[in-house]
Amino acid sequence: MKAIHFGAGSIGRGFIGDLLNEAGYAITFVDVNEQLNAQINQDRGYDLYIIEENFSQKFIGNVSARSPVTDKDEIIALFPSADVITTSVWADNLPKIAPLILAGLKERRRRSQDLINVIVCENAWFNGAILRREILKLDPQLAADELDAMARFPNTAVDRLVLNSRHAGKDTVDIGIEHELVIDRTGLADPAGRPISGAIYTDNLQKYLERKLYIINGGHAWAGYIGYVRGYDIIQDVFNNDELVAEVKGAMLETANLLHEKYDFPLDELTDYIDFAIGRFKTPGIKDTIARVCRSPIRKLAPDDRLTAPCVQCENAGLNNEKLLTGIAAALLFDNPDDGQCRELQQAIKDQGIGAALTRYTGITADSRMHNIIMGKYSELKKIKATLRN
């Protein structure tokens, strides 16, 4: 079996390439990094290092790499014999790879090959739909049903700890053992098929997307914003404080109770998921800044994002959301002059007042119980911040 994978970065090699290799695929990576491509082609593979196993080495073989700049024709020629196409290039780069994928799909159609799955493994909601939409933009003569006769673009959810590294003078990836690739089977060429063994196939992708965004991403952001208020600059220092870890876990458990009620996830499964997430945040040898974790606070405070969405849904379901409300208050205090969204948020608070800014960026109205509680918590945390960060 043959796979073409766009993107040889940490997710590409450390997660999707690993899964494809385990499933028995020969992999061709498509990447603009000529130095990395040369290394992969020279070694006919690449090395991964498993963090939890004392960085034990794992070699991924039967791999080659090509450049979309210099090897375009060769890549297009690979499409007719491919069994699956996958991507991990960052969602913002999907428009850049769309032309080459469309050219490859047209060559595949010219050769009368079967329908193929293009599995988009980006950390973005409805990622397959994004790429499909970008491809359709390229050719006004290409009807949606015509594209759907060439390829299917199932949405996915991706999750694995992957870190770019160097070992023995080579570009490598350090990986966590635990991982999860969830694929919407209703979007596959064959809904009963399993193109990548080791993935989870579901007809309700939304619940997995929310579980990751609300629990893992939400818990990480919550820890970052509270850590900032408490005077921390490194996120790992927050997770070395047992009192704060208990607070973070409490916020994540509020979300877990919501997802249990909403999707019937077993509570013990969600508790294990929280413990797994916190264990990842504590991974030794990793140093991540509060500034990076907390960046783009307007996006993270949005009504459909990791802090506000579960908080409001808990409120509507009559569930406890005390700690989630605290996290929103803390996010409103985050102030990093190097972050454009921070500057906008803090200017809005200055110009309009905290109450109006809270409503503007979260959608939580001034006449609600949540608004009043957040306002109170904001005042309390502001005093703590003034004491610890000045």
Long-range contacts at 243-246 (CB < 8 A, ≥ 24 apart): 245/278
What kind of architecture, by CATH, is found in domain 206-388? Orthogonal Bundle (1.10)
* pLDDT-based confidence at residue 364 (cuts at 50, 70, 90): very high
Residue 283 has pLDDT above 80, yes or no: yes
Tell me: pLDDT of 113 over 90: no
Say which residues have a Cβ less than 8 Å from residue 47's Cβ, sequence separation at least 6: 57, 58, 59, 60, 167, 170, 172, 173
Q: Whole-angstrom Cα distance, residue 175 to residue 151? A: 31
Q: pLDDT tens for residues 73-102? A: 999 999 999 999 999 999 989 999 999 999
The mean pLDDT of 383-390, rounded to a whole number, is 88
- Using 50, 70 and 90 to split pLDDT, how confident is the model at 112? confident
Reported as a single tens digit per residue, the pLDDT across 35-72 is 999 999 999 999 999 998 999 999 999 999 999 999 99
Q: What is the pLDDT of residue 320?
A: 98
For the segment 118-130, the average pLDDT, to the nearest whole number, is: 94
pLDDT tops 80 at residue 271: yes
Averaged pLDDT score across all residues of the chain: 96
The pLDDT score that the predictor gives to residue 125 is 86
Answer yes or no: is pLDDT of 284 > 80. no
Structure pTM?
Answer: 0.87
Query: How far apart are alpha carbons 325 and 363 in whole angstroms?
Result: 13
Indicate the CATH number of 2-203 among 2.40.110.10, 2.60.40.10, 3.40.50.720, 3.40.50.1100.
3.40.50.720
Q: Where in the chain is the domain with CATH 1.10.1040.10?
A: 206-388
Question: What pLDDT does residue 124 have?
Answer: 87
In the chain, list all ranges with CATH 3.40.50.720: 2-203
Q: Which residue has the higher pLDDT, 329 or 280?
A: 329
pLDDT of residue 24: 97
Give the pLDDT confidence of 285-327 residue by residue, as tens digits: 788 899 999 999 999 999 999 999 999 999 999 999 999 999 9
pLDDT tens for 184-210 read 999 999 999 999 999 999 999 999 999
What does the pLDDT read at residue 259? 98
Q: What is the pLDDT of residue 253?
A: 98
With a CB cutoff of 8 Å and minimum separation 6, the contacts of 377 are: 325, 326, 329, 330
- Report the C-alpha gap between 25 and 388 in whole angstroms: 53
| pLDDT for res 287 | 84
